[in-house]
């Protein structure tokens, strides 16, 4: 599958990245080289193979749903680029 | 004996017996950092005052912990409450961790003294530490060469004797490859053995924290301290942790070591191959049984990894949007804020992997790339399951070459990705692996061998490595930095 500059622009939009013209050219070239290398996976017949998403068996881990006071709330909000009282502040959404 | 020549085990013992004070030890290492870090640039931050104060407290009150007074350096993607966790990125340059990782809590409760945070490839993406947004760490054996990556700072800090031990993280070889290129021991524990709580996520199904040390015994000491179940990490596994320090001292007569033919291929440096093959003779002399084995899907590992890891990374890095932490770019609208923040905050390699991951997860390509990769991951894992029915340990080179020159592979990401060709399968299969020094090239650069073990059988790879180091002296050589 050949990646075009249009694909790169579309993926950048999905990934919320603004790319310069130079970056678009560079990523088109590099992603094509990388994906071409990955096409060797198609040589393998995996029709009867189950996918592995984790190397160990995963199960849901539950804990009691209890309300607790967070001791770190202030430290967490202090990292915000912009805040108002105990809220993260962003541009108007609506 | 000079302080910097003491092993971590010796330091702890001497502090406990009060033959040496924790303050003397910490001060000695801080002086070493002061002297050498100008040359090698391993540290993003050094906690001079806090480390000395903590050492004094240990001297005053004593510590019964496993690591009483032992200095340790921490990769800058592991959170320490109240300190910066930058991931060597612009976007988190000023991020102050509001909590500590479980490994940090464990180290502290065992009496360790954290002396600083070490440089890395941005968000742990890279094989050379050249992707740090701050500076490139240098290999202490040759300052024109890379230390490996992404835990290059942690490997360098131990190799250049600026810290007796350190912590790194390994997603596709980021502990073992720099350990190999810097001539130290580095272990990637089995997935689930060490809590990932407080480690900034890169590829969650592959990441694992592990120690760097100058020898296997010290690695065993640190691994013992940081392993174990953690209810804060849903992928942590509730299994007993072996007493590694006792286990490693047993002999390896009759142990079966598998040599996979797929790891001795064209493209591997001749000197690397010869050193690794010479080490096989050492194991034979120690009474191990050597068996030829095959891991037929090895050649697909790099492709599988560079689909799965960027896919998981693109999801994990979606959180860097300028809202809750990190820098924020000026903008008129919310979407513009996300885009400008991310574009200015991420470096080239991180953007490339986000692009790759977003593409392979996107509608229309998910089955062709991501699902296909997850299926081939099963085949790679099955290869290991089969081979481990016949052998206890698998022996391979860690890296196909010694450390390369700074700048040599920067422009060619595929070539850079291939430098992890021998370490990646271990993460995909979730097994454990260690790299230890096994020789030097003609230009005096360290060469590493990798020992891969069954899931949760860290004690066996440590035991095999320890017995090797008792017979050889490669780990005793120090760089003349």
**Quick one: how far is CA B233 from the chain centroid?**
19
B333-342 — which CB contacts under 8 Å span 24+ positions? B333/A91, B334/A90, B334/A91, B334/A92, B334/A93, B335/A16, B337/A90, B337/A91, B338/A16, B339/A16, B339/A17, B339/A18, B340/A18, B341/B91, B342/A15, B342/A16, B342/A17, B342/B91
Structure tokens at B434: 């260690």
Residue B464 burial (CB count, 10 A): 24
Q: Which of B174, B279, B419, B425 is catalytic?
A: B174
**Shortest distance, CA B36 to any CA of chain A (angstroms):** 33
**For every residue of B312-331, which 3-state class applies, written as one string?**
HHHHHHHHCCCCCCCCCCCC
DSSP one-letter code for B66: T
> What's the rounded mean pLDDT across residues A56-78?
87
pLDDT score for A1? 62
Annotation marks residue B75 as catalytic: yes
**Segments in A1-94 forming alpha helices (H):** 5-14, 21-38, 73-78
Of A15, A6, A46, A79, residue with least CA distance to B316: A15
Do B99 and B85 form a contact (C-beta atoms < 8 A)? no
- Cα distance between residue B74 and residue B83, in whole Å: 12
> What's the rounded mean pLDDT across residues B151-165?
98
CB of A3 within 8 Å of any CB in chain B? yes
Tell whether the model's pLDDT for residue B1 goes beyond 80.
no
- Cα distance between residue B393 and residue B246, in whole Å: 19
Structure tokens at B380: 């790679």
Provide, as residue numbers in chain A, all residues whose Cβ is less than 8 Å from the Cβ of B356. 31, 34
Percent above pLDDT 70 for chain B: 100
Provide, as residue numbers in chain B, all residues whose Cβ is less than 8 Å from the Cβ of A49. 375-376, 378-379
Tell whether the model's pLDDT for residue B291 goes beyond 70.
yes
Which residue in this structure is represented by tokens 């009060």?
B18
Per residue in B376-398, pLDDT (tens digit) is 999 999 999 999 999 999 999 99
**pLDDT category, B226, cuts 50, 70, 90?**
very high
> Element (H or E) spanning B279, and its range?
helix B270-285
Per residue in B312-326, pLDDT (tens digit) is 999 999 999 999 999
DSSP one-letter code for B95: P
Mean pLDDT of chain A: 91
Provide, as residue numbers in chain B, all residues whose Cβ is less than 8 Å from the Cβ of A92. 334
Tell me the three state secondary structure of residue A54: coil
Structure tokens at A29: 């070239």
Backbone angles phi, psi at B128, to 5 degrees: -145, -5
Note whether B372 contacts A41, CB cutoff 8 Å: yes
Instruction: Provide the residue count of chain B.
Output: 481
Sign of CA dihedral B295, B300, B302, B304: negative
Burial of B126 by CB count in 10 Å (0-12 exposed, 13-18 middle, 19+ buried)?
A: buried
Note whether B98 contacts A40, CB cutoff 8 Å: no
Please give the C-alpha separations between residue B382 and each of A51, B48, B52, B367, B412, in angstroms, as whole numbers: 12, 48, 49, 21, 32
């Amino acid at each position: 599958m050949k990646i075009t500059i249009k694909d790169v622009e579309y993926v950048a939009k999905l990934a919320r990245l603004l790319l310069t013209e130079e970056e678009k050219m560079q990523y088109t070239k590099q992603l094509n080289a990388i994906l071409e290398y990955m096409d060797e996976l198609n040589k393998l017949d995996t029709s009867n193979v189950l996918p592995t998403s984790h190397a160990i068996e995963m199960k849901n881990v539950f804990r009691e749903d209890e309300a607790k006071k967070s001791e770190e709330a202030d430290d967490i909000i202090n990292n915000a680029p912009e805040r108002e009282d105990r809220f993260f502040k962003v541009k108007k959404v609506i | 004996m000079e302080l910097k020549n003491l092993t971590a085990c010796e330091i702890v013992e001497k502090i406990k017996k009060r033959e040496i004070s924790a303050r003397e030890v910490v001060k000695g290492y801080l002086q070493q950092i002061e002297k050498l870090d100008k040359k090698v640039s391993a540290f993003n931050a050094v906690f001079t005052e806090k480390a000395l104060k903590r050492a004094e407290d240990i001297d005053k009150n004593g510590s019964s912990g496993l690591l009483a007074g032992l200095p340790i350096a921490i990769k800058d993607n592991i959170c320490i409450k109240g300190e910066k966790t930058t991931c060597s990125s612009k976007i988190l340059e000023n991020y102050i961790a509001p909590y500590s990782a479980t490994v940090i809590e464990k180290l502290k409760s065992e009496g360790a003294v954290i002396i600083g945070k070490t440089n890395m490839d941005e968000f742990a993406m890279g094989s050379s530490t050249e992707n740090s947004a701050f500076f490139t760490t240098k290999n202490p054996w040759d300052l024109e060469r890379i230390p490996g990556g992404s835990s290059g700072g942690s490997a360098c800090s131990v190799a250049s004797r600026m810290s007796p031990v350190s912590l790194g993280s390994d997603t596709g070889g980021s502990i073992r490859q720099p350990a190999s290129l810097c001539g130290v021991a580095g272990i990637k524990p089995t997935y689930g053995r060490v809590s990932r709580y407080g480690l900034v996520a890169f590829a969650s199904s592959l990441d694992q924290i592990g120690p760097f040390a100058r020898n296997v015994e010290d690695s065993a000491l640190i691994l013992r301290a940081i392993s174990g179940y953690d209810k804060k990490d849903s992928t942590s596994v509730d299994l007993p942790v072996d007493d590694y320090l006792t286990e490693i001292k047993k002999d390896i007569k009759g142990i079966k070591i598998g040599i996979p033919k797929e790891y001795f291929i064209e493209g591997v440096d001749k000197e690397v191959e010869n050193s690794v093959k010479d080490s096989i003779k050492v194991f034979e002399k120690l009474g191990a049984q050597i068996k030829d084995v095959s891991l037929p899907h090895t050649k697909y590992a790099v492709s599988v990894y560079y689909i799965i890891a960027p896919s998981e990374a693109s999801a994990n890095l979606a959180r860097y949007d300028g809202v809750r932490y990190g820098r924020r770019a000026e903008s008129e609208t919310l979407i513009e804020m996300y885009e400008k923040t991310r574009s200015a905050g991420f470096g080239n390699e991180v953007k490339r992997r986000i692009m790759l991951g977003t593409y392979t997860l996107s509608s229309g390509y998910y089955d062709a790339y991501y699902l296909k990769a997850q299926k081939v991951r099963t085949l790679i894992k099955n290869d290991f399951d089969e081979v481990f029915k016949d052998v206890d340990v698998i022996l391979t080179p860690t890296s196909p070459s010694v450390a390369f020159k700074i700048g040599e592979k920067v422009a060619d990401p595929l070539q850079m990705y291939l430098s992890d060709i021998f370490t990646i399968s271990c993460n995909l299969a979730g097994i454990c692996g260690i790299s230890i020094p096994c020789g030097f090239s003609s230009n005096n650069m360290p060469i590493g061998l990798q020992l891969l073990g069954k899931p949760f059988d860290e004690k066996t790879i440590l035991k095999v490595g320890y017995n090797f180091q008792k017979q050889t002296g490669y780990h005793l050589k120090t760089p003349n930095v």
